[in-house]
C-alpha cells in the first residue's frame, strides 16, 4: 500500500473549495514527510480550470517524486451527501477525464444520487475505460452507498469493471455499519481506493451529519487517535481482502495544529499499518 496526503489537510471541517495551502505547498509537505502521493481536491483543481493548470500541477508532483492518487475535480462531488447536483459530473465526465490524464491520476471520484444515475454512471465508466481510468464512489452518508449492502448492490447494478469504491471507515460508523473484515470481504474486489478519517460518535459532538437513519452527532479526531476508528481492525480487513492500493489521509484541518504538525501526526498514525 502507498500513503497519499489529501489536500483536505488544509481545509476546514465543512469546507470543500477553500484551502489554507496552495498545491505546491501541499506537495512539498507530502514529500518531506514521506507520502508517495497527493489526492487532488476541488480546492486545488476543478473541471472549470484550464488544462494548463493541471500540467503545472503534474510538473510539481514530478519535481517532488509524487503521483496523483485520485482527483475529485468538482466540489459538488465532495459534498455528495448534501448537494442536489453532486451527480453533475456523470452528465459530462470528459473534462474530468482529461484532467486526470494530464495529472497521471488513474482514479476519478464521482457521486450518484439515485436510480436515474445508474445508466449515467455506466456511460461515464465506459468513457473512462477508453482513457484507462477507473471511477470510484465513496461509501458516504445520505447516498445509496451508505451501507455495505448498499455499496454492494450499487456496484453490482452499475456492473462495470472500472467502477468501484473508495472505502472510508468513519462513514460506515456514522451509518451504524461495521468496517472490519465482515464488511470488507463482500466488497473486496470492488475496493479501488481507501480514505481514512477519524471521529467519535457522541451526543455532545460539535458536528452533525444527516444519514438515511437520521441526524448523527460526532466529534472530529486526528487519524490515529484510538478513541475513534480502530485502525488495526480496519487494516486487518484490508489485508485479508488483498488490498494493495492507495491509503489517503482524509483528514481536515484541526484547530491548534499547523498543517505540518497535523500531516506528520496522521502519517505516524497510518505508516505502521501501510509499511508493515
| Position 158 confidence tier, pLDDT thresholds 50, 70, 90 | very high
pLDDT of the residue at 12: 62
Three-state secondary structure of 99-135: HHHHHCCCEEECCCCCCCHHHHHHHHHHHHHHCCCEE
Average pLDDT over residues 232-237: 98
Predicted TM-score (pTM) of this structure: 0.95
Average pLDDT over residues 213-229: 95
| Position 84 confidence tier, pLDDT thresholds 50, 70, 90 | confident
Do 110 and 80 touch, CB atoms closer than 8 A? no
**What are the sequence ranges of the domains in the chain?**
2-275
pLDDT of the residue at 2: 98
Superfamily of domain 2-275: Divalent-metal-dependent TIM barrel enzymes (3.20.20.150)
Average pLDDT over residues 247-266: 94
| Position 98 confidence tier, pLDDT thresholds 50, 70, 90 | very high
For residue 17, pLDDT over 80 is answered with no
Amino acid at each position: 500500500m502507498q500513503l497519499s496526503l489529501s489536500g483536505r489537510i488544509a481545509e476546514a471541517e465543512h469546507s470543500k473549495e477553500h484551502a489554507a495551502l496552495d498545491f505546491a505547498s501541499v506537495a512539498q509537505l507530502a514529500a518531506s514527510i514521506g507520502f508517495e502521493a497527493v489526492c487532488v481536491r476541488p480546492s486545488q483543481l476543478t473541471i472549470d480550470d484550464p488544462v494548463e493548470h493541471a500540467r503545472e500541477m503534474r510538473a510539481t508532483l514530478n519535481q517532488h517524486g509524487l503521483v496523483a492518487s485520485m482527483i475529485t475535480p468538482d466540489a459538488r462531488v465532495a459534498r455528495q451527501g448534501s448537494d442536489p447536483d453532486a451527480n453533475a459530473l456523470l452528465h459530462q465526465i470528459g473534462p474530468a477525464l482529461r484532467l486526470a490524464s494530464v495529472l497521471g491520476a488513474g482514479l476519478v471520484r464521482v457521486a450518484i444520487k439515485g436510480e436515474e444515475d445508474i445508466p449515467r454512471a455506466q456511460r461515464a465508466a465506459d468513457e473512462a475505460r477508453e482513457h484507462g481510468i477507473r471511477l470510484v464512489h465513496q461509501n458516504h452518508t445520505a447516498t445509496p452507498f451508505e451501507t455495505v449492502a448498499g455499496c454492494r448492490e450499487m456496484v453490482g447494478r452499475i456492473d462495470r469493471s472500472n467502477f468501484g469504491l473508495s472505502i472510508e471507515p468513519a462513514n460506515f460508523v456514522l451509518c451504524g455499519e461495521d468496517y472490519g473484515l465482515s464488511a470488507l470481504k463482500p466488497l473486496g474486489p470492488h475496493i479501488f481506493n481507501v480514505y481514512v478519517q477519524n471521529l467519535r460518535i457522541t451526543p455532545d459532538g460539535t458536528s452533525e451529519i444527516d444519514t438515511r437513519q437520521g441526524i448523527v452527532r460526532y466529534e472530529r479526531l486526528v487519524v490515529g487517535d484510538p478513541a475513534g476508528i480502530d485502525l488495526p481492525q480496519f487494516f486487518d480487513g484490508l489485508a485479508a481482502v488483498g488490498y494493495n492500493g492507495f491509503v489517503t489521509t482524509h483528514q481536515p484541518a484541526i484547530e491548534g495544529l499547523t498543517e505540518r504538525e497535523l500531516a506528520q501526526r496522521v502519517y505516524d498514525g497510518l505508516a505502521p499499518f501501510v509499511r508493515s
